[in-house]
A and B are shown apart, each in its own frame.
Chain A
């Protein structure tokens, strides 16, 4: 590991591992949610909540163990991703716990209190994070599973069709006795692995074998095949699972990775044309999608004399204003049901922490995405580059689609805010995603192993006169 004696690489003293920076940031990432937790308790009950010690120790322990594992198994990994993920996850737990304090939306029919469950899922997520870091020594191993990944992703995506729809979308599989799972969250990672592996092999064929037409490089028909398959698949998800978000995510992910792999702008044009055509086609006969678009265009419209969820979310944001009402003092529960804890969690942030809070959260996401793409830039192998940009891109699209939907920038789709929102599948999958990114960045930033001071070298010296 010692690189100080190595004079052949550029950095003579070696790249700093930045592990201490990470530790310092992690301290804040734990302290901020703990203060937020206390803040909620003071606002709601005028006392420091009884669970604060347990919460602080739990979050601190998770962060501490994660840090130690990173220090040992991925010492050169990016120092920002773990603290940002921890902070978002910790704040998410606080918001869910805060909403658990509202009796109207914490009835047994609605699943009761959700913070304990979410803490358990977060623990599992961190466990998976540690597992990935410990057992995945090199991300290039994943390249071997390109086609297995494809099959797995297809199975995961198609599976929910056989399960009943919940909340208007068919994105869940229900395992009796265990609970329900959102396989789309895992499929996101697996499909990025498949794309990275597939495109790494095919990129030259896709990029070079093309004709120039009106300034665009038109791909050959047989190279167009895979993009059409993915397009058809994402449309099928949309039609059969009525899941606008996931189909958008997969299609966007594929276009981004294709573009990076081939460096051909024409793929983006094709992507946009195809997704536009698909969206219009589906929107013309899918009432579910039409409803979403209608709600988006008329956010404050009354439905049968009642205020819609969309309108309630807008009222939440508007009532928060610039600085917010303060934690525990908003009325985002008016959105009703479990939605404020899951899809609409950002509305609670908006109302209680205000514009300032939402901007801070969005910037945290932006930071995480930026570190992911930076990892892609730093990666030395094409597979690592593609995988890192795929995972970061998927993350960025998801954040955009969810936050944009909730704030009324685009039509609402049923997806969860990574780390923040209630949902086991989401939090586990996102911890795994961050772990893979950390692994790639560790490989990328790790100094090249110093050529061992071998006996051969010494012999050369001996030969010299």
Chain B
């Protein structure tokens, strides 16, 4: 009987071996994946076992931590001016995970990041508790407040960038929410959180409109179309007459005109004049003349058609691949053309920065608990959508818009402001309220400190008479003023 016995022994050995291999697979190969799975409660327990590091704006933290006695968690996140900073910080909730900066920099904030290895090791030997690092943002508190106040009671978003570096100065979305309201795990927190979801609040307060909502950019997109005309040599002199018939019929259609907003002097208007009064016919024809491919190329140079990581992800704006009439419409920011507020701020900033687009970012540096800088963001060039001389021409045109065109409401005494208004129609047969847009930049003798994009979703009261200049430009002006005042 010994031969089968030996075989049984081998079989039992194989059973144990199979178990050993399996536990190695689970605890070694899959370990990290399982350890950091978002449903693994240990992640949250660790996240709140120490006071979290803070998110800092202009030397002051906008976040904090407070002790709780809610079950597994020792600490709870708190926010200062939560609704104002929510589009920047995101939230960190005991019950509902985290998002945006709170999520992306979770390892730093909880002190588990590899970059904090040294500081953690020291803590281990000195017997101190693990501490979280801080995330220092590039945001400008005054500009953020101006943007937040400007959007109060409205629906819309503001994105402001420093054109010279790409640093994000303001990022606001309205309506907003207070991340403190559901930072814990009580029933009240759950109620607050569920009340903010799309299904209970159609205004979607938790949607970060500045980064994650794409709108038809309307006439503000004419800046990109003008850039395409200059870059491709379609027109070189902004004060020379263009070849622009009126009425202008869309290509490949049976005399379907591309109308202007009212009776504007658009026939063969110069580029400067066409942008000043916002001629649909002139820019629609430019787009048609250049063709879909060249328009896509130029839009891509400005950052369209790809996601941007600031490091919080911004949705990709879209300049569509389309047929000729649709392409002509897209050239004036209609049809399937879609852009995020951040994207349009990037357009303004590229023009303002002499044609060079800087990569937008909102985290300046990461700081260890011992105040050592563990990571510093360096400004980075993203692309060059315009040659410097063309950028100069386009600035000239945009400044005319503010001086004597549709954007006069954005004028700031003693400061050179360039801008472009937009009123984007949307909905079937344009029956929904249009979007009011304004993109602009401000120049002082010290440089070009700010470019901004504002979008406001229309309200019924202003229907029919909604122009970017009326609703959006004053908000942009306030943000630019706040930045300039801060730089003085």
- Contacts A259-B4, A260-B5, A409-B18 known; A317 to B28 CB distance under 8 Å? no
Q: Are B27 and A317 in contact, with the CB atoms below 8 A?
A: yes
Are A382 and B34 neighbours in the complex by a CB distance under 8 Å? Answer: no
Pick 18 A–B contacts, CB within 8 A, sort by A. A259-B7, A260-B4, A317-B31, A318-B30, A319-B34, A331-B42, A334-B41, A350-B23, A355-B27, A365-B16, A370-B13, A373-B8, A374-B9, A376-B5, A382-B1, A400-B16, A400-B19, A408-B22
Chain B nearest CB: distance from A99 CB in Å?
A: 16
B147 to chain A, nearest CB (A): 37
Interface membership of B39, Cβ < 8 A:
yes
In the assembled complex, the CB of A39 is this many whole angstroms from the nearest CB of chain B, namely 18
Which single residue of chain A is at the shortest CB-CB distance from B17?
A366
Interface size range on B against A = 35 or more
Contacts of B15 in A (CB 8 A): 396-397, 399-400
List the B side residues contacting A369 at CB < 8 Å.
Answer: 12, 16
Q: Which residues of B contact A363 (CB under 8 A)?
A: 16, 20
Are the CB atoms of A373 and B5 closer together than 8 Å?
yes
> Measured between alpha carbons, how far is A396 from B16 in the docked complex, in Å?
8
Within 8 A of B (CB), among A351-402: 354-355, 358-359, 362-363, 365-366, 369-370, 373-374, 376-377, 382, 385-386, 389, 392-393, 396-397, 399-400
Question: Once bound together, how far apart are the Cα atoms of A318 and B23, in whole Å?
Answer: 9
A246 on the B face (CB < 8 A): no
Closest to A264 in B: B4
Bound-state CA distance A147–B24 (Å) is: 44
Known: A319-B35, A320-B27. A331 touches B8 (CB 8 A): no
Q: Which of B1-59 contact A (CB under 8 A)?
A: 1-9, 11-13, 15-16, 18-20, 22-24, 26-28, 30-35, 37, 39-42, 45
A36 to B: closest C-beta gap in Å: 19
Q: Nearest-CB distance from B16 to chain A (Å)?
A: 4
Which A residues form the contact surface with B (CB < 8 A)? 256, 259-261, 263, 300, 302, 307, 311, 314-315, 317-322, 331, 334, 350, 354-355, 358-359, 362-363, 365-366, 369-370, 373-374, 376-377, 382, 385-386, 389, 392-393, 396-397, 399-400, 403-404, 407-409
- Interface residues in B307-340 by Cβ distance below 8 A to A read none
A320-B32 Cα distance, complex, nearest whole Å:
10
Would you give the shortest CB distance from B106 to chain A, in whole angstroms?
Answer: 16
Once the chains bind, are A366 and B34 in contact (CB under 8 Å)?
Answer: no
B1 contacts which chain A residues (CB < 8 A)?
260-261, 263, 382, 385-386
Residues of B within 8 Å of A334, CB to CB, are 41-42
- Measured between C-beta atoms, what is the minimum distance from A226 to chain B in Å? 18
With A318-B40, A321-B35: A350-B16 Cβ-Cβ less than 8 Å? no
Contact of B33 among A256, A307, A318, A400 (CB under 8 A): A318
Nearest CB on A from B72, distance (A): 8
Shortest beta-carbon distance from B316 to chain A in Å: 30
Minimal beta-carbon separation of A334 from chain B (angstroms): 5
Instruction: Across the interface, name the chain B residue whose C-beta is closest to A263.
Output: B4
Assembly CA distance A256 to B10 (angstroms): 12
Contacts of B24 in A (CB 8 A): 355, 359
**B446-473 contacts to A (CB < 8 Å):** none
* Contact between chains at B9 and A373 (CB < 8 Å): yes
- Separation of A441 and B414 alpha carbons in the complex (Å): 102
In the complex, per-residue mask of B161-204: 1 if CB is within 8 Å of any chain A CB, else 0:
00000000000000000000000000000000000000000000
Distance A385 CA – B466 CA, assembled complex (angstroms) = 95
B12 and chain A: residue at smallest CB distance: A396
CB < 8 Å: which of B6, B26, B35, B40 contacts A408?
A: B26
**Which residues from chain A contact B19 at a C-beta distance below 8 Å?**
362, 399-400, 403-404, 407, 409
Q: Does A260 lie within 8 Å of B27, measured CB to CB? A: no
Within the complex, what minimum Cβ distance (angstroms) separates A300 from chain B? 7
Indicate the member of B23, B35, B41 with the most A CB atoms within 10 Å.
Answer: B23
Residues in chain B near residue A409, CB distance under 8 A: 18-19, 22
Q: Within the complex, what minimum Cβ distance (angstroms) separates A86 from chain B? A: 20
Partner of A300, one of B12, B16, B35, B37: B37
Closest Cβ of chain A: how far from B40's Cβ, in Å? 4
- 20 extra interface residue pairs, beta carbon distance < 8 Å, beyond A318-B30, A321-B31: A263-B1, A300-B39, A314-B34, A315-B35, A315-B42, A317-B26, A317-B27, A318-B32, A318-B34, A318-B35, A331-B42, A358-B27, A369-B16, A370-B12, A373-B9, A377-B9, A389-B8, A393-B8, A399-B16, A403-B19
Closest to A392 in B: B12
Instruction: For the complex formed, measure the closest distance between the CB of A325 and the CB atoms of chain B, giving whole angstroms.
Output: 9
- Between A363, A377, A397, the greatest number of chain B beta carbons within 10 A of the residue's beta carbon is seen for A377
Partner of B12, one of A260, A386, A393: A393
Q: Which residue of B lies closest to A306 (CB)?
A: B39
Chain A residues within an 8 Å CB radius of B11 = 256
A260 contacts across to B, CB distance below 8 A: 1, 4-5, 8
For residue B28, which residues in chain A have a CB less than 8 angstroms away from its CB? Answer: 321-322, 355
Give the nearest-CB partner of A315 in chain B: B40
CB proximity to A under 8 Å, residues B266-325: none
Judge whether A358 and B23 touch: CB under 8 Å.
Answer: yes
Q: Which residues of A contact B31 (CB under 8 A)?
A: 317-322
- Asked if B27 and A318 make an inter-chain contact with CB atoms under 8 angstroms apart, the answer reads yes
A198 to B442, CA, bound (A): 98
Contact B37 A359 (CB under 8 A): no
**Which residues in A have their C-beta under 8 angstroms from that of B18?**
400, 404, 409
Residues of A within 8 A of B41 (CB): 307, 315, 331, 334
Residue from B3, B7, B8, B35 with most neighbouring chain A CB atoms (10 Å): B8
Whether the Cβ atoms of A377 and B35 lie closer than 8 Å is: no
In the complex, what residues of A have CB within 8 A of residue B5's CB? 260, 373, 376-377, 385, 389
Nearest Cβ on chain B to A23's Cβ, whole angstroms: 27
Interface centre among B1, B22, B37 (most CB of A within 10 A): B1
